[in-house]
Structure 1
Amino acid sequence: MAKQTRRQPAGDSLRQPLRLIGGQWRGRKLQFPLCDGLRPTGDRIRETLFNWLGPYVPDAVGADLFAGSGALGLEALSRGARVMSFCERDPAAAKALAGNLALLGASGGRLQHMDALQWLNSSKIDAPLDLVFLDPPFAADLWQPSIDALAARPWLADGAAIYIESGVDSVFQVPDSWELHREKRAGSVCYRLYFYRAD
């Protein structure tokens, strides 16, 4: 009798792997769906970023805006962040992220199934935020509206770290109270880390 092969559920071929690279879940492999505009931050950039962040991550309250796979926020939780809110409006990506948070037992993860700008303009934020990841889909050009929304209300703690990932040709302006700490390029990607200093 010919051996039967188990049929894979539809959509399995459209799943991508994500590997956490540090902290308590180091080496854990997760899956996320292939969605339009979803572009996870690569391992090398994540490693550099979290080397920059160092002692600012443990016990931090943060937000992963435009979370997608949740790579940045999950990495922060793995490295000791206390609370991380994940904003993701795409239903498939949000469902996968919820599943991965449950799989890891990440009690500090808070999934916000909504647009990041909508969330920033709401009153449902665990503020003040110590750590913010801003990495929207490049084609959407949402850096400036997101920066403006972050700056318009008292969401940031004094000394908060703000990470921005963009294309090398992307144009945006940050408030004077955001001090550039580090900046680096990797191919067509530019990534920067700022620190907010209250007046």
Structure 2
Amino acid sequence: MRVVSGDKKGLSLKAVPGTTTRPTTDKVKEAIFNMIGPYFDGGIGLDLFGGSGGLGIEALSRGLQSMIFVDRDGKAIRTIKENLNFCKLTDRAEVYRNDAERALKAIEKRELQFDLIILDPPYKAQKLLHLMEEIQKRHLLKEEGIIMAEHENNVELPEVIGKLHCVKKEVYGLTVISIYKHG
């Protein structure tokens, strides 16, 4: 697992020890960023299921100004911090150990809005539809912002969720990438 492109291209990233997380492959990571970027001119991101931090670090490497990483697993939090430190990105990131829904409530209090929200929850416990409804209810996505949802191919997300519209959907084996924007 490595950073695919940008100013940190080629740096290796550690995976979370054990089998509780499923790292996004470099091939799928490249495809995701070709769909949503591939590069950014600043902006703020939220990686709500940070895992190893690979997707959020990729966004930072490709020009996103800052990223908030959230994960409820202590091993994942340690791995994210190690990877950010190794990539010299700690000054552009915040890392929190929290449940996704509680994190959204806490972020709302800070009155933050995001250019990019990454939703890559564990395949076994996906609540993507509910999370996207919560993101809208809490006004966490900028008007021109993007939500990237990674999910299993047996999960069918609606084309329209509130004011969000699916603008792209690609299948990579068992993995589906769905991109949502305000309609």
Query: TM over 0.5: same fold?
Result: yes
Aligned residue number for residue 178 of structure 1: 164
Aligned residue number for residue 30 of structure 2: 47
Q: How many Å separate the matches in 2 of 1:172 and 1:193?
A: 11
TM-score norm. by structure 1 comes to: 0.84
Q: How many Å separate the matches in 2 of 1:33 and 1:67?
A: 10
Matches within 5 A, 1:1-199: 18-54=1-37, 57-106=40-89, 107-122=91-106, 123=108, 125=110, 127-173=112-158, 174-197=160-183
CA positional deviation for 1:114 = 0.9
Q: Is the 8 A contact 2:39 2:63 kept in 1?
A: no
CA positional deviation for 1:89 = 1.1
Q: How many Å separate the matches in 2 of 1:126 and 1:42?
A: 33
Q: How many Å separate the matches in 2 of 1:150 and 1:40?
A: 24
Q: Is the 8 A contact 2:21 2:51 kept in 1?
A: yes
User: Alignment RMSD, CA only?
Assistant: 1.7
Q: How many Å separate the matches in 2 of 1:55 and 1:93?
A: 26
Aligned residue number for residue 8 of structure 1: none
1:181 match: secondary structure:
strand
CA positional deviation for 1:185 = 0.4
2:13 match: secondary structure:
strand
1:31 match: secondary structure:
coil
Q: Is the 8 A contact 2:38 2:62 kept in 1?
A: no
Q: Which amino acid aligns with 1:146?
A: L
CA positional deviation for 1:55 = 6.1
Q: Is the 8 A contact 1:131 1:161 kept in 2?
A: yes
Aligned length: 180
2:130 match: secondary structure:
helix
CA positional deviation for 1:100 = 1.5
Q: How many Å separate the matches in 2 of 1:56 and 1:177?
A: 25
CA positional deviation for 1:124 = 5.1
TM-score norm. by structure 2 comes to: 0.90
Q: How many Å separate the matches in 2 of 1:28 and 1:56?
A: 17
2:86 match: secondary structure:
helix
Which stretch shows the higher mean deviation, 122-131 or 175-184? 122-131
2:22 match: secondary structure:
coil
Q: Is the 8 A contact 2:69 2:96 kept in 1?
A: yes
Q: Which has the larger radius of gyration?
A: 1
CA positional deviation for 1:179 = 2.1
CA positional deviation for 1:125 = 4.7
Distance 1:133 1:126, change over 3 A: farther
Aligned residue number for residue 9 of structure 1: none
Q: Which amino acid aligns with 1:117?
A: E
Q: Which runs of 4+ in 1 moved over 4 A?
A: none
1:21 match: secondary structure:
coil
